[in-house]
Amino acid sequence: MQQLKGIKILVVDDEPNILQFLEIGLQNEGFEVRTAQDGISALNHIKQFQPHVVILDVMMPGMDGFEVCRMLKKTENVAVIMLTARDEVDDRVKGLNLGADDYMVKPFSFEELLARIYARIRNQFPNLFGEVVIGPFTIDDRRREIKFEDRLLDLSPTEYELLKFLVLNHGLVLSKTMILDKVWGYDFGGEQN
């Protein structure tokens, strides 16, 4: 795994043992970590700490994780990984539909959680990695360059954004609306075909 300096993670769980385990484990991986034991504290931490990733339990006193996720996704550019004992399909679907980027069930593997954190960071914040290599493509977000099999591609800014979006989401079915929103923005007024 690649260590990233400056990546901030907020862990939200009402179980002190899980908070301590994750805080120590994630700090040992080089992340800057804060913790919260309930939803309201989590929202306060998010405004001040501005994390890249939130690991969020569902069952907490006061405001539950579903409500925290819903509120976060309205205003923040943050990856949310729900980590909870609630393992019913309906709960997973609800979390993902509210905007969670991933959903893991307790008990969990720390190594798997770590892999999911890196995957979320790669997808949501690719410029934090400098160069990202996916298959034959190398994406350098700082220079806004893409190489295919070590050959630099001559791309317009829009072509760069489109190819980057497609490569970073390889293997996923992407609707035309998703592509238009991500590459051209919501106010795109041109021909859509």
pTM listed for this prediction: 0.67
Is residue 185 within a helix (H) or strand (E), and if so which, with residue range?
A: none
Instruction: Return d(Cα 34, Cα 120) in angstroms, integer.
Output: 18
Tell me the pLDDT band of 5, cut-offs 50, 70 and 90. Answer: low
Q: What tens digit of pLDDT does each residue of 41-64 get?
A: 999 999 888 999 999 999 998 899
The pLDDT, as a whole number, for residue 63 is 92
CATH topology of domain 130-184: Arc Repressor Mutant, subunit A (1.10.10)
What is the layout of strands, in order, in the sheet containing 137-140? 131-134, 137-140, 145-148, 151-152
**Per-domain residue ranges of the chain:** 8-126, 130-184
Coil vs helix vs strand at 134: strand
Whether the Cβ atoms of residue 148 and residue 137 lie closer than 8 Å to each other: yes
CATH topology of domain 8-126: Rossmann fold (3.40.50)
**pLDDT, averaged across the chain:** 86
What is the pLDDT averaged over residues 155-178? Answer: 84
